[in-house]
Amino acid sequence: MQRFAALIDRLIYTRSRNAKLHALATYLRETPDPDRGWALAALTDSLDFPAVKSSTIRNLAGTRIDPDLFRLSRHHVGDTAETVALIWPGSEGVEPEDQRLSTVVDALAATTRTTAPDAVADLLHRMDVDSRYAMLKLALGGMRIGLSARLAKTAFAQAFDVSVDAVEEYWHALEPPYTELFAWAADGGPAPDLSAIPFFRPFMLSHPFEGESLDLTEYAAEWKWDGIRVQIARIAGETRLYSRGGDEISKAFPDVVAAFDVDGVVDGELMVRGEAQGADVAGGGAASFNALQKRLGRKTVSKKMLQEAPAFIRLYDLLVDGGTDRRELPWDQRRGHLEDFVPRLTADRFDLSQVIDVPDFEALAELRASSRDAAIEGVMLKRRDSPYLSGRKVGHWYKWKRDPLTADCVMMYAQRGNGRRASFYSDYTFGCWSDEGQLLPVGKAYSGFTDAELKMLDRFVRQNTLNRFGPVREVAKTLVLEVAFDSIHDSKRHKSGLAMRFPRIHRIRQDKPPEEADRVATLKAMVP
Amino acid sequence: MANSKHWIEPHPQGIYVRPADVWIDPSGAQPRAVVTHGHADHARGGHGQVWATRETLAIMGLRYGTDAGTALRYGETMEEGGVTFSLHSAGHVLGSAQILMEYQGERVVVTGDYKRRPDPTCAPFELVPCDIFITEATFGLPVFTHPPIAGEIGKLFDRLEAEPERCVLVGAYALGKAQRVIAELRAAGWDEPVYLHGALEKMCRLYEDLGVDLGMLRSVADTPKEEMAGKIVLCPPSALTDRWSRRLPNPVTAMASGWMRVRGRARQRNVELPLIISDHADWNELTSTIADLSPRETWITHGSEDGLLRWCELTQRKARALAMVGRGEEDDG
Ligand SMILES: [Zn+2]
Ligand SMILES: [Zn+2]
């Protein structure tokens, strides 16, 4: 347990991605089964002990410590689990035990609502302060230490020198503590048998298109829709919906999950139904990304939300058809199977992403330029003879994004970055002019510049600070930044009533006087 | 206020000893002041007459340009207006003192800041029996228990060993904490040079002049970047994420403070390696000192007074909080 606690703290305090990977990989290599599997599950929020609730812990603290002292302490610390870990009256003079993580997991899993308080108290008594914290976080679920599933898989692959793709496939198919996964990766055992599980297959990803032209007899063109890329898989009666990172998001979209009633695995864009956009290009209309965002990241969805923002998937590709893996087939043939597959699905939940029918590349370029539809991010170019490959392999798929929109804005505030950038002011809030001649914030960006430009911007912030609000500095409104963004929409987040998607610093316009920056009204006109 | 007629008067700007016409740690300039220790929230410049230990006067001299004042040794007494004053070591930083005052048979102790752990850079805390105990409460909540320092120094060494191509940059307050960290490193056998931010150099030199050996110290400004890989560098906390740190070889950001007990605090400061090292009494020290002394009354000057007040209530001790302004600013932790 002490090693696990040390790992948690290391991950909490480390900002660098590489250092996190290294810490986790080392832990996975050096820790025996099944402890390392439980650790992995805990870190990726795949463990649940329903009998232990936050209130269990709070009540328990109430039996050992004065409620006023607890309240004052909790207020200071800001986290119940940490407060209890720190405050728990250690058994004076008794050397804390270093129980195995699996022993702790077993103890927690065996509890009921009635036995949970005593069981947790017993564990707390035996542990040192950092282990108490780790145990309580483990018991309550949701470590929230900024470790994505993707990072965990990468660390696993790094630890045992196996391919991330393979890890990704097996991972979702297996249950904690993933003993078969470790047996395969660490001890050279056989690969796990996944035939009866709707597991996640790694996505095929694209590169940005930077060429001049492509031969459309070799490449097919499709719209790139502005939702989230998902994979939906159904095997032996069980359906699971996965995000691009391979996280299961079935609970947030029960409507589409329930409607997918044919065995197979498909790749598509998840969107919510809407009126205005997309209807002229293909199939039914989709709402903007903004509307979808309201449904993302939810553990449960209300009936109202299901009615107001019904989700659907526009399908791009087919990976598994019934029980047959089609990934080895060229795109042309997979497309044929997909076109046969889609009519078997509920029509208002699943439709086919149309192939753009144009005679040549020039016609495609023209069509792409003329389309300012907010639901369309650009065009995908897919090699007709490519198999479905995992990851981002060169020469197969290209993403030809629309040229970004740009606006000239004035820097208003700056904030320090994280990690490598902790000593630089690298996050900028910028604004445009209102009709009354007031500067109103329209967005925030922390990318798009080179290292040299970052140094220049950092210097500007330090030399032009007007006010400090904690970590934020208000700067003199003199520097014009040309900001590029994918789209802009109405939002309550900024005083201007606007919010940009993917804003980044395109150019620093030292040549431009701030009065000549864009007006909010100009940006409003770009809202679709 | 029940004690408003008492010969010791707490005011927001300090403690006034009426019969002697003397202020203790006043926050603004006063004609006559007794100063517990050199931290800026206790020692201000511009007083008329000052009484303090020789070391505290020297520290004030370094900071305010004048060390004029009357030096008192620990245990030495002086009398002003019928009040007998004496200073007793507080174990907080070099020269830190508790102030014992006796007047008409009543004994009052003002702790200033104190700790009860051993510290190689200053004299150990002395338990001074009294009727009224006027204490600090910086860490007056039961979540604050400082672990033994050896383990924290060990964490620092472990990190150096694990990543020898980096340096460990420890944020430490210029007065007291920095020198204690260096002295503890020496005690643990670290005989490499310790590299210093310019803002720490003068105080370290003063400590050495006053007889505290800190081993080999070097200035970061005079050192090539590569030389500091695998070494320990100290700076004031404010410099931790400042541009200054760019001249170091990929530093592991550490901070030596009692506040590092709380993860959120460490993360707020972007600290990668929190070291729970404090020059203040932790919860157990605060409560056990009151229990050891069993004073008739406990008055609390600054810190988490609500927590300590509640403990006094639970253990049926008479206590009150004094609302002192501006305390805990410099040496917070
Ligand atoms: Zn102090
Ligand atoms: Zn203080």
Query: What are A222-281's pLDDT values in tens digits?
Result: 988 878 899 999 998 899 999 887 778 898 899 999 999 999 999 999 988 876 455 445
CATH number of this structure's domain B8-143+280-321: 3.60.15.10
Question: Left if phi > 0, otherwise alpha if psi is -120 to 50, otherwise beta: which for A102?
Answer: alpha
**Chain A hits for B137, Cβ within 8 Å:** none
Q: How many alpha carbons fall within 13 Å on the CB side of residue B178?
A: 27
Give B26 to chain A, closest Cα distance, Å.
28
Range B166-184 average pLDDT: 97
Is A224 among the residues known to form the active site?
A: yes
Q: Where are the domains of chain A?
A: 2-140, 204-401, 405-524
Higher pLDDT, A291 or B84: B84
CA A157 and chain centroid, separation? 20
**CB–CB of A166/A153 below 8 Å?**
no
The residue among A163, A229, A227, A236 whose CA lies nearest residue A199 is: A236
Question: What pLDDT, on the 0 to 100 scale, is given for residue B4?
Answer: 52
pLDDT at B268 exceeding the cut of 90: no
Q: Give the lowest-confidence range in A133-137, A150-154, A183-187, A259-263.
A: A150-154
Q: What is the Cα–Cα distance from B78 to B71, expressed in whole angstroms?
A: 11
Distance A277 CA to ligand 2 centre (A): 63
**Chain B hits for A418, Cβ within 8 Å:** 270
CA dihedral A454→A508→A484→A523, nearest 10 degrees, is 130
**CB–CB of A99/A126 below 8 Å?**
yes
Integer CA distances (angstroms), B58 to A284, A507, B53, B65, B67, in order: 81, 55, 9, 10, 6
**CB–CB of A462/A382 below 8 Å?**
no
- Strand ranges inside chain B, DSSP E: 8-11, 14-17, 22-24, 32-34, 49-52, 70-71, 77-80, 83-89, 97-103, 106-110, 132-137, 168-171, 194-196, 217-219, 232-235, 252-256, 273-275, 297-303, 319-321
Does domain A2-140 fall under CATH 1.10.3260.10? My reply is yes
Residues β-bridged to residue B256: B275
pLDDT at A284 exceeding the cut of 60: no
DSSP code of B258? G
Question: Quick one: angle between helices A129-140 and A80-87, nearest 10?
Answer: 150
Range B142-167 average pLDDT: 95
- Amino acid identity for residue A362 in this structure: E
Listed ranges A287-296, B261-270, B319-328; the one with the highest mean pLDDT: B261-270
pLDDT at A298 exceeding the cut of 80: no
Range B262-268 average pLDDT: 89
Question: Left if phi > 0, otherwise alpha if psi is -120 to 50, otherwise beta: which for B294?
Answer: left
CATH number of this structure's domain A405-524: 2.40.50.140
Question: What pLDDT, on the 0 to 100 scale, is given for residue B30?
Answer: 95
Question: What pLDDT, on the 0 to 100 scale, is given for residue B9?
Answer: 94
**Chain A hits for B243, Cβ within 8 Å:** 423, 458
**Chain A hits for B246, Cβ within 8 Å:** 423
pLDDT at A211 exceeding the cut of 70: yes
Question: What pLDDT, on the 0 to 100 scale, is given for residue A395?
Answer: 87
Asked if A14's CB is within 8 angstroms of B272's CB, the reply is yes
Long-range contacts of A55-62 (CB under 8 A, 24+ apart): A56/A116, A56/A117, A56/A120, A57/A81, A57/A84, A57/A120, A57/A136, A57/A139, A57/A140, A58/A84, A59/A117, A60/A84, A60/A117, A60/A120, A60/A121, A61/A87, A61/A88
Q: Where are the domains of chain B?
A: 8-143+280-321, 149-275
Q: Which residue from B minimizes the CA distance to A459?
A: B243
Integer CA distances (angstroms), B167 to A13, B106, B230, in order: 17, 54, 5
pLDDT at A406 exceeding the cut of 80: yes
CA B168 and chain centroid, separation? 23
- Amino acid identity for residue A368 in this structure: R
Give A495 to chain B, closest Cα distance, Å.
27
**CB–CB of B101/B107 below 8 Å?**
yes
**CB–CB of A336/A491 below 8 Å?**
no
- Give ion ligand 1 contacts, CB < 5 A: B 39, 113, 331
pLDDT at B1 exceeding the cut of 50: no
Dig out the tokens for A29 from the structure.
Answer: 């290599």
Range B214-226 average pLDDT: 96
Q: What is the Cα–Cα distance from B234 to B236, expressed in whole angstroms?
A: 7
pLDDT at B329 exceeding the cut of 70: no
Range B68-88 average pLDDT: 97
Question: What pLDDT, on the 0 to 100 scale, is given for residue A481?
Answer: 94
Question: What pLDDT, on the 0 to 100 scale, is given for residue A321?
Answer: 94
Q: What is the Cα–Cα distance from A455 to A462, expressed in whole angstroms?
A: 11
For A13, the closest of B271, B306, B311 (CB atoms) is: B271
Residues β-bridged to residue A229: A269
Listed ranges A143-147, A158-162, A169-173, A450-454; the one with the highest mean pLDDT: A158-162
Architecture of domain B149-275: 3-Layer(aba) Sandwich (3.40)
**Percent of residues, chain B, with pLDDT higher than 90:** 88
DSSP code of A353? P
Question: What pLDDT, on the 0 to 100 scale, is given for residue B86?
Answer: 98
Q: Give the lowest-confidence range in A137-151, B28-42, B159-173.
A: A137-151
Listed ranges A36-50, A65-79, A448-462, B169-183; the one with the highest mean pLDDT: B169-183
pLDDT at B196 exceeding the cut of 70: yes
CATH number of this structure's domain A204-401: 3.30.470.30
**CB–CB of A269/A353 below 8 Å?**
yes
State the residue for tokens 């090699």. Answer: A383
**Chain B hits for A72, Cβ within 8 Å:** 141, 304, 306-307, 310
Q: What is the Cα–Cα distance from A504 to A452, expressed in whole angstroms?
A: 16
Q: What is the Cα–Cα distance from B150 to A292, expressed in whole angstroms?
A: 54
Angle at A115 between CA A113 and CA A121, to 5 degrees: 115
DSSP run (H or E) holding A175: none
For B262, the closest of A15, A68, A77 (CB atoms) is: A77
- Positive or negative torsion for Cα B226, B229, B231, B235: positive
Catalytic residue, from A224, A251, A382, A444: name it: A224
φ and ψ of B88, to 5 deg: -135, 140
Asked if B270's CB is within 8 angstroms of A422's CB, the reply is yes
Question: What pLDDT, on the 0 to 100 scale, is given for residue A15?
Answer: 81
Q: Burial code of A164-191, b = ≥16 C-beta within 10 A, e = fewer?
A: bebbbbbbbbbebbbbbbbebbbeeeee
Tell whether B328 lies on the interface with A, counting CB pairs under 8 A: no
Residues β-bridged to residue B233: B169, B195
Asked if A65's CB is within 8 angstroms of B306's CB, the reply is no
Question: What pLDDT, on the 0 to 100 scale, is given for residue A308?
Answer: 82
pLDDT at B2 exceeding the cut of 50: no
Distance B114 CA to ligand 2 centre (A): 9
Asked if B263's CB is within 8 angstroms of A82's CB, the reply is yes
DSSP code of A355? B
Give A165 to chain B, closest Cα distance, Å.
30
- Amino acid identity for residue A22 in this structure: H
pLDDT at B3 exceeding the cut of 50: no
Question: What pLDDT, on the 0 to 100 scale, is given for residue A323?
Answer: 85
pLDDT at B330 exceeding the cut of 90: no
Higher pLDDT, A172 or A20: A20
Q: Which residues of A touch B (CB under 8 A)?
A: 9, 12-15, 65-66, 68-69, 72-73, 76-79, 82-83, 86-87, 129, 133, 416, 418, 422-423, 458
pLDDT at A173 exceeding the cut of 50: yes
pLDDT at B67 exceeding the cut of 80: no
